[in-house]
Protein backbone atom coordinates (compact mmCIF):
# COMPACT_ATOMS: atom_id res chain seq x y z
CA UNK A 1 0.00 0.00 0.00
CA UNK A 2 1.26 3.47 -0.86
CA UNK A 3 0.02 6.60 0.78
CA UNK A 4 0.82 10.28 0.56
CA UNK A 5 0.88 12.87 3.30
CA UNK A 6 -2.42 14.72 3.34
CA UNK A 7 -1.49 17.08 6.15
CA UNK A 8 0.81 17.42 9.12
CA UNK A 9 -1.06 18.08 12.38
CA UNK A 10 0.40 19.77 15.45
CA UNK A 11 -1.29 19.32 18.81
CA UNK A 12 -1.41 22.73 20.48
CA UNK A 13 -3.08 25.01 22.98
CA UNK A 14 -4.05 27.87 20.62
CA UNK A 15 -4.69 26.82 16.99
CA UNK A 16 -5.67 30.35 15.91
CA UNK A 17 -2.35 31.78 17.15
CA UNK A 18 -0.22 29.09 15.53
CA UNK A 19 -2.02 29.08 12.18
CA UNK A 20 -1.37 32.81 11.79
CA UNK A 21 2.32 32.40 12.68
CA UNK A 22 2.80 29.48 10.28
CA UNK A 23 0.74 31.09 7.49
CA UNK A 24 3.28 33.92 7.29
CA UNK A 25 6.23 31.49 7.26
CA UNK A 26 4.70 29.11 4.71
CA UNK A 27 2.94 31.65 2.51
CA UNK A 28 -0.63 30.44 2.77
CA UNK A 29 -3.87 31.83 4.14
CA UNK A 30 -4.86 30.87 7.69
CA UNK A 31 -8.15 28.97 7.94
CA UNK A 32 -10.02 28.54 11.23
CA UNK A 33 -12.23 25.49 10.66
CA UNK A 34 -13.75 25.62 14.15
CA UNK A 35 -12.69 26.74 17.62
CA UNK A 36 -10.24 23.87 18.08
CA UNK A 37 -8.92 23.29 14.56
CA UNK A 38 -7.09 25.55 12.11
CA UNK A 39 -4.89 24.98 9.08
CA UNK A 40 -2.75 26.63 6.43
CA UNK A 41 -2.59 25.17 2.92
CA UNK A 42 0.54 26.68 1.37
CA UNK A 43 0.84 26.60 -2.42
CA UNK A 44 2.90 23.65 -3.67
CA UNK A 45 3.27 22.11 -0.22
CA UNK A 46 1.45 19.91 2.26
CA UNK A 47 -1.28 21.38 4.47
CA UNK A 48 -0.23 22.07 8.07
CA UNK A 49 -2.97 21.87 10.69
CA UNK A 50 -3.27 22.75 14.37
CA UNK A 51 -5.57 20.84 16.70
CA UNK A 52 -6.35 22.01 20.21
CA UNK A 53 -5.56 19.49 22.95
CA UNK A 54 -5.98 19.89 26.71
CA UNK A 55 -2.47 18.87 27.71
CA UNK A 56 0.55 21.13 27.21
CA UNK A 57 3.79 20.32 25.42
CA UNK A 58 5.92 18.31 27.83
CA UNK A 59 8.96 17.15 25.83
CA UNK A 60 11.02 17.76 22.73
CA UNK A 61 9.21 17.16 19.45
CA UNK A 62 9.59 13.69 17.94
CA UNK A 63 9.06 15.33 14.53
CA UNK A 64 9.94 18.79 13.24
CA UNK A 65 9.66 20.69 9.98
CA UNK A 66 12.72 21.72 7.95
CA UNK A 67 11.91 24.80 5.88
CA UNK A 68 14.13 25.65 2.90
CA UNK A 69 15.39 29.23 3.06
CA UNK A 70 17.68 31.09 0.71
CA UNK A 71 18.95 33.16 3.66
CA UNK A 72 18.80 31.38 7.01
CA UNK A 73 19.53 34.51 9.05
CA UNK A 74 16.89 36.65 7.32
CA UNK A 75 14.26 33.91 7.59
CA UNK A 76 15.13 33.42 11.28
CA UNK A 77 14.90 37.16 11.94
CA UNK A 78 11.43 37.25 10.37
CA UNK A 79 10.29 34.24 12.42
CA UNK A 80 11.62 35.80 15.64
CA UNK A 81 9.75 39.03 14.86
CA UNK A 82 6.58 36.90 14.60
CA UNK A 83 7.15 35.23 17.98
CA UNK A 84 9.63 32.38 17.38
CA UNK A 85 12.65 31.80 19.60
CA UNK A 86 16.11 30.81 18.37
CA UNK A 87 17.41 27.59 19.92
CA UNK A 88 21.16 28.06 19.56
CA UNK A 89 23.00 29.66 16.69
CA UNK A 90 23.29 28.97 12.99
CA UNK A 91 25.08 25.67 12.37
CA UNK A 92 27.20 25.04 9.27
CA UNK A 93 28.18 21.55 8.18
CA UNK A 94 29.07 19.84 4.88
CA UNK A 95 25.37 19.63 3.92
CA UNK A 96 24.75 23.36 4.36
CA UNK A 97 23.55 25.67 7.09
CA UNK A 98 20.59 25.55 9.46
CA UNK A 99 18.99 27.37 12.38
CA UNK A 100 16.79 25.63 14.95
CA UNK A 101 13.89 27.68 16.30
CA UNK A 102 10.71 27.15 18.32
CA UNK A 103 7.31 28.54 17.34
CA UNK A 104 5.19 30.50 19.87
CA UNK A 105 4.11 27.24 21.59
CA UNK A 106 7.60 25.71 21.64
CA UNK A 107 7.36 23.40 18.60
CA UNK A 108 10.83 23.06 17.09
CA UNK A 109 11.51 23.73 13.41
CA UNK A 110 14.54 24.57 11.28
CA UNK A 111 15.38 26.90 8.45
CA UNK A 112 17.82 25.07 6.20
CA UNK A 113 20.05 26.27 3.38
CA UNK A 114 21.73 23.56 1.35
CA UNK A 115 25.42 23.64 0.49
CA UNK A 116 24.56 24.19 -3.17
CA UNK A 117 22.38 27.27 -2.57
pLDDT digits (tens, 9 = 90+) for 24-74: 999 999 999 888 999 999 999 999 999 999 887 777 778 899 999 999 999
Q: Does an H or E element contain 44, and which?
A: none
Q: Which pLDDT score is estimated for 117?
A: 45
Q: Which pLDDT score is estimated for 115?
A: 56
Radius of gyration of the chain (CA): 15
Say if residues 70 and 48 touch (Cβ distance below 8 Å).
no
Q: Which pLDDT score is estimated for 56?
A: 78
| pTM for this prediction | 0.88
Amino acid sequence: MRARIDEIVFDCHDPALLVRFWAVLLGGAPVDRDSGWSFVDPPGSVRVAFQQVPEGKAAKNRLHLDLAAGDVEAASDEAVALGAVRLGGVVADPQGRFQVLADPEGNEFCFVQGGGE
